[in-house]
Amino acid sequence: MAERILVTGGAGYIGSQTAKALARAGYEPVVFDNFVHGHEDAVRWGPLVRGDLRDASAVAAALTEYEIAGAVHFAAFTPVGESVRDPRAYFENNVTGSLNLLGALLDRGVGTFVFSSSCAIYGAPVTTPIDESHPQAPITPYGDTKLAVERAIAAYGTAYGLKWTALRYFNAAGADSEGELGEDHDPETHLIPLAIAAAMGTSAPLSVLGTDYDTPDGTAIRDYVHVEDLADAHVRALDYLRGGGKSDAFNLGSGTGSSVREVLAAVAAAAGRPVPSADAPRRAGDPPVLVADPAKAARVLGWRTRRSDLGTVVSSAFAWHTRPSGRT
């Protein structure tokens, strides 16, 4: 029988893609999701448990029923701006839920844990590209919650023998190459789907937040990494731990930055029409450049991006958002 892996938040954007990748790698993903943001039609590759990580008894019951062998933990609130407005919700959901999950795993002897972390733990970059030794100084409550969980899993590793990896994403983007899964947030806050909607006339013109950065075209530069490449990294991290690998943290990015204007040009090329946009002031706290140094993940996990060039990221997202049965 295939080993069962609990995938918290497995009905979400990256979680569902990782559940698919896990199934293809020979695991049985068991999705645990409260559907605050997830989508039931994205759960297709294994059992579904409806539950909230803040309910410790529900977590324990799922682990027992399915004889879970390891966990990949995505479930979290993520919009950065919302975390500033309502930090209490973020700490209660992201930190308390994670601690409940960790406690239940330890109580049942499940010692393999892959954590969906974020480059938000670094805060404003001191050096670029950013490697794993960069100072950790989050500037938002969202980043604070991710760092708090990273510190918890490191402490649990030292005290209880938990084997863990923390995967620090940069900008997740793109859609499934088979057209099954894509980015569908409500409200949508990410640049590429917002630009696609603007190009297709299903939303207002895009606001370009900041045109006076110290970058070649004046707009902010970000490292976009394809969601299928991220899913692959989670499978590799799980295999690495189950093969005796040392607990560690890894940056996941392409190592290449693209500006907002470059993204809009790529969307315009995919759509065959310009992206209506208007210049707007910078958003508070946004650094001019965020680019990963992914060398450690390549060296230790054997992970390299295959679909994270900007053209592929944008064309895959455009195809998913404009498919006949899809949402734009």
CA 120 to centroid of chain Cα atoms: 11
Residue with tokens 């809009």: 264
Of 90, 122, 142, 169, the active-site residue reads 142
Question: Does residue 156 carry a catalytic annotation?
Answer: no
Give the span between the Cα atoms of 143 and 15, in whole angstroms: 19
How far from 319 is each of 179, 198, 206, 283, 288, CA to CA, in Å?
8, 15, 19, 29, 29
Determine phi and psi for 160, rounding to 5 degrees: -120, 0
C-alpha to C-alpha distance for 1 and 60, rounded to whole angstroms: 22
Q: Which helix (H) or strand (E) holds 149?
A: helix 141-160
DSSP string, 102-126: HHHHHHTT--EEEEEEEGGGT-S-S
Question: What is the distance between the alpha carbons of residues 159 and 155, in angstroms, rounded to a whole number?
Answer: 6
**Quick check: bond before 287 cis, omega within 30?**
no
Q: Which residues are catalytic?
A: 142
